[in-house]
């Protein structure tokens, strides 16, 4: 670690936006998001689910089969940010999944099985019940802010 002693926190920043509010310290992220484009706290106008303490930070809308987009979320109890949670809708049912990554073969190419690209989760909930409750809470937040995401004619 250059420029500072090991084990010591980085020096306090003077002025400028907080990298953990709005832009998350990633300059390219603003170009991908729908929603706030400034560095004010998302708490000022973003829906929060009180029973689960989840903040919907932003949504990138996509229409590709059942995929409706990707959400960036914050778990308020821990402060943890979850980037690129997939939003799905099919046959009148909507759900959200934790981020995942492509499974790569030895050749470095994404694995495809029976014509379907393969992914593996980056994190998982301790049970299906917890996953379903979390998914339902996030779907509620997304529907409040982006109801058009679930319109039947988006196929």
Q: Would you say residue 116 lies in a domain? A: no
Q: Would you say residue 10 lies in a domain? A: no
Supply the DSSP string of 105-142, one letter for each residue.
Answer: -TTSSBPEETTEE-EEES---SSHHHHHHHHHHHHHHH
Q: Would you say residue 87 lies in a domain? A: yes
Better-scored residue on pLDDT, 71 or 16: 71
Domain count, the chain: 1
Q: Would you say residue 118 lies in a domain? A: no
Q: Would you say residue 120 lies in a domain? A: no
Q: Would you say residue 78 lies in a domain? A: yes
Q: Would you say residue 68 lies in a domain? A: yes
pTM: 0.65
Q: Would you say residue 72 lies in a domain? A: yes
Residues 6+ apart with CB under 8 A from 66: 88, 89, 90
pLDDT in tens, 102-121: 999 999 999 999 999 999 99
Domain coverage including residue 148 = 45-98+126-154
d(CA 91, CA 152): 9
Q: Which band of pLDDT confidence, cut at 50, 70 and 90, is reported for residue 151? A: confident
């Amino acid at each position: 670690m250059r420029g500072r002693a090991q084990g010591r926190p980085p020096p306090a920043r003077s002025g400028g936006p907080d990298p953990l509010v709005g832009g998350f310290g990633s300059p390219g992220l603003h170009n991908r998001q729908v929603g706030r484009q400034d560095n004010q706290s998302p708490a000022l106008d973003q829906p929060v689910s009180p029973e689960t303490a989840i903040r919907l930070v932003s949504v990138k809308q996509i229409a590709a089969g059942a995929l409706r987009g990707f959400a960036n979320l914050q778990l308020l109890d821990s402060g943890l940010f979850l980037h690129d949670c997939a939003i799905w809708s099919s046959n009148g049912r909507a759900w959200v999944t934790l981020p995942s990554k492509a499974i790569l073969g030895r050749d470095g190419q994404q694995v495809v099985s029976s014509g379907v690209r393969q992914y593996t989760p980056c994190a998982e909930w301790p049970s299906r019940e917890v996953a379903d409750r979390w998914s339902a809470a996030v779907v509620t937040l997304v529907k409040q802010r982006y109801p058009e995401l679930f319109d039947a004619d988006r196929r």
